[in-house]
Amino acid sequence: MDEGVSRAMRPVVDASWRRAEQARLDPEHVSAPLVLDGPALDDARRAHPISAALPVIRQLLVRDADPDSRVVVAIGDERGRLLWVEGDPVLRRRAEAMLFVPGAAWAEGDVGTSAPGTALAIGGGVQIRGAEHFSYEVKPWSCTAVPVRDPESGDIIGVVDVTGEDQVAAPHVLPLVEATVAAVERELLIARLRDHGSGPRAASRGAASRSHRSPAQAAQLRILGRDTGELTGQSGRTGTLSTRHSELLALLAWHGEGLSAERLAELVYGDARRAVTLRAEMVRLRRALGSVAPELGPLTRPYRLAAPLETDLGAVVDLQRRGAHRAAVAAYGGGPLPGSVAPGLDELREDVVGRLREALMESGSADLLLAWAETDRGADDVEIWRAALHALPPQSPRRALVVAHLLALESAE
């Protein structure tokens, strides 16, 4: 490689080219090998965990990659083997000439610098534009890719890539693919908890008394990152609740031992004297539950649920208790009913955030601390940022960014 060209490259591309040269790849002749075909490809697709999240990818990316979009979306495994390639049919046919097809291997060790292979190599999102590709055959193309991680272990399990002309390497594309991958990882987490019968569980002090009930029998309430809850009853029927009814169910699930009318009114309205208003709302809630989850009741004196209700907020607590801190941070997302101003929801948020924060501080993991620091709850937390700086290795390139953020926080105090 010409050193003058190397110095003009972006550092991420320069490092990738050097790895390709160390692997003794020839940019004039290197080509993606076809390593999976027929039954072997079908088996790899069925076995790969990302297959469960394909509808999410198709909704967020492939839906926009229709004919004339000039975009191809590829999903690969942790070894860079493409399992699905979808999108603009004309562009896909063009891409076949460089073996950008299902079953082909696009890791750096196979083709040198490309977005899917380099994203896997560096463990982060990357954009590769035209001439930055190592292989001459790939230089007419541009691409953006982000690795997919196991939501519990943090290990890389695959990669999502968009390939096409110059527009797919525009600055706004990388955040779009990152958001898609975040949605995929969240979907994988929810599916895993459901399949293994470990959540989402209601994190309530009264849950132990109902532990003999099978998780498969329990109704489920999703409130994380949404202003209205989605309730699924034991029958499998699903419905969307009003914000007020979502608040009531979330609080009753959390306080499984039950709440007096006055205490529940205080948690919902901020005023224990509004117990009469609360009783009327509970009547309306019971009617709303009738078509989705009539088994929930609720019962009175004290107010409590008549059957188990599992929540995705409870799943976050379960993950934290099991030591799966990375998955807990990812699952928490925007928190429960972020638009709610009910005092009881504020208490739930502070309780769960406090547990997560304490666990992350005790972990001493720079990756986990920075993952939390980059959320809305951690962005202004000086103690978290200081702990992350202390945990980073002395030569880490991330130290400069952490120091800069800390200085900005401290100057604002």
Mean pLDDT, contiguous 10-residue spans, the chain (413 residues): 56 94 93 91 94 88 69 95 93 92 95 96 94 95 95 90 92 88 85 56 36 55 91 90 96 95 97 95 95 92 93 85 77 88 95 90 86 84 92 86 90 77
How many whole angstroms separate alpha carbon 349 and alpha carbon 362?
20
Predicted TM-score (pTM) of the model is 0.54
Q: Establish if 334 belongs to a structural domain.
A: no
Which of these, 316, 323, 318, 331, lies nearest to 363 by C-alpha position? 323
- Do both 307 and 383 map to the same domain? no
For residue 194, what pLDDT is reported? 61
182 with 211, same domain? Answer: no
Residues 72, 57 contacting (CB under 8 angstroms): no
Residue 112 in any domain: the answer is yes
Inside any domain, residue 343: no
What pLDDT shows up at residue 1? 44
Does residue 369 share a domain with residue 408? Answer: yes
Residue 392: which residues within 8 A CB-CB, separation 6 or more?
366, 398, 399, 402
CATH assignment of the domain containing 121: 3.30.450.40
Residues 163 and 279 in one domain: no
Beta bridge partners of 310: 220
Q: Is residue 319 part of a domain?
A: no
Question: Can you give the pLDDT at residue 284?
Answer: 95
Asked if 175 and 268 sit in the same domain, the reply is no
| Pair 223, 130 in one domain | no
Residue listed under structure tokens 């610098």: 113
CB 219 within 8 A of CB 202: no
- 327 domain-assigned: no
Domain assignment of residue 236, given as a range: 207-313
Last residue of a domain, one of 313, 345, 372: 313
Confirm whether 179 is domain-assigned: yes
Q: Would 324 be classed as within a structural domain?
A: no
Question: What is the domain count for the chain?
Answer: 3
The predicted pLDDT at position 75 comes to 97
